[in-house]
Structure 1
């Protein structure tokens, strides 16, 4: 059974394609009408060398018309600019990503110049979509176009999400600027989670039943990999 969602999906699918091929197939089958993009995370980044299984999975998603965002850990602004850009370029060269997901993004004003410089580098490298994974609401200046295209302003549990209060400044920007990622969503509340993402003015989101160190090893509600799809454990997410 599938569950309704109120927003298009941005899917952090942090499971190896050989461990859970059905999950990857389900995302590709959903198509770009439902899936805004998939975050490709090989090993908390692109990994040390191309992974053939991820190359095949990336090619399938690209053929389905689904954009790929290369996962890059910025360590809250502590990773050097050159190291972050090197990961971005490896994602593009090895897996054909068309965008980047800068995770563990700092949210304070002092880091703004750093992330604007990273956004400039990403766009110069051909990235069509730049996502900043703050996981919470950053300083309002991060919502300006110089700092990226999409802000993940919530990443946390369903219990936490129900208590989320939106800062007033978010009302000055379109919903297409925001994405909310919610885990530990009970099956019975899947529809409620999708509706709440929409009511929180996030045009993009993802609600999953997963929990623990890597809840993003599970498919989001709204997709279905069939009754025999395995439940997988994957690499740690940032």
Structure 2
């Protein structure tokens, strides 16, 4: 998965809305294509759910057919969730929806958890995942950026006000911007351009800024795709 700036079309989209609820959102993402969307995180129920979903599978296939990588969401509970349970999520996703990679969420950031996440990354690649994303939500210890671990680190996930106050650790400057992603929600429409510029200025090669808030802000699309959703 390659990456450019957040405002030239390279977005990581957490698409946490069922295609039966908002089919226009799924069509909009597919219509944007891989030139603008670096990947889509699919998430049925904080994981693959209890049973195969035909409607969800059809939505996922539409996005995949557009050439956009699908990333399966799996919660790691900051290292507390057993390795077998996390890998079980991934294998179920692979069987049902054939994602291209995995988005491990709630990833711990302390050095003591590194061996656990090395094992998870190794298991994911052994299961056929071409892309491994670690969703820290904050800057972890520098060791998490080591070569061969995760392809992408989500080093910010939070609201717009918190993002405006964020500072970058110096160690991030030793790595390519394509290694980092910032996910920002509760962004006012009038601040959309500012958010995109700030993501780029902070050397996050992949990003996403959405207007949504509350329990599931990722049920809304990034501003860059909202026009496509209306057209859909």
Judge same fold: TM > 0.5, yes or no: yes
Q: Which runs of 5+ in 1 are unaligned?
A: 230-238
Partner residue, 1:15: 17
Deviation sequence 1:22-56 (CA, Å, 0-9, x none): 00000000000000000000110011111111100
TM-score by length of 2: 0.95
2:25/2:229 contact within 8 Å kept: no
1:214 to 213, 216, 231: 216
Q: TM-score, normalised by structure 1?
A: 0.92
How many Å apart are 1:100 and its aligned residue? Answer: 0.1
Q: 2:55 aligns with which of 50, 53, 56?
A: 53
Question: How many angstroms apart in 1 are the aligned matches of 2:9 and 2:19?
Answer: 25
| 1:136-175 pair list within 5 angstroms | 136-175=138-177
Identify which of 64, 70, 81 aligns with 2:66.
64
Task: Tell whether the 8 Å contact from 1:134 to 1:153 is kept in structure 2 after alignment.
Answer: yes
Cα distance between partner residues in 2 of 1:227 and 1:100: 29
C-alpha distance in structure 2 between counterparts of 1:226 and 1:40, whole Å? 18
Taking the aligned partners of 2:229 and 2:70, their CA distance within structure 1 comes to 23
Q: Return the alpha-carbon distance in structure 2 between the equivalents of residues 6 and 212 of structure 1.
A: 27
Aligned match of 2:137: 135
* Partner in structure 2 of residue 91 of structure 1: 93
Q: Which has the larger helix fraction?
A: 2
Deviation at 1:87?
0.4
8 Å CA contact retained: 2:41, 2:73? yes
Cα distance, 1:145 vs structure 2: 2.3
Aligned counterparts of 2:209 and 2:8: Cα–Cα separation in 1: 11
Distance 1:14 1:83 in 2: 21
Aligned pairs (5 A) from 1:95-110:
95-110=97-112
Match of 1:198 in 2: 200
Q: Could you say what secondary structure the match of 2:38 adopts?
A: strand
**Secondary structure in 1 aligned to 2:148?**
helix
Give distance in 1, aligned partners of 2:202 and 2:52: 38
How large is the RMSD of aligned CA atoms in angstroms? Answer: 1.3
Q: Partner residue of 1:121?
A: 123
* Partner Cα separation in structure 2 for residue 72 and residue 146 of structure 1: 20
Q: Indicate the residue corresponding to 2:3 in structure 1.
A: none
Aligned equivalents of 2:69, 2:188: Cα separation in 1:
28
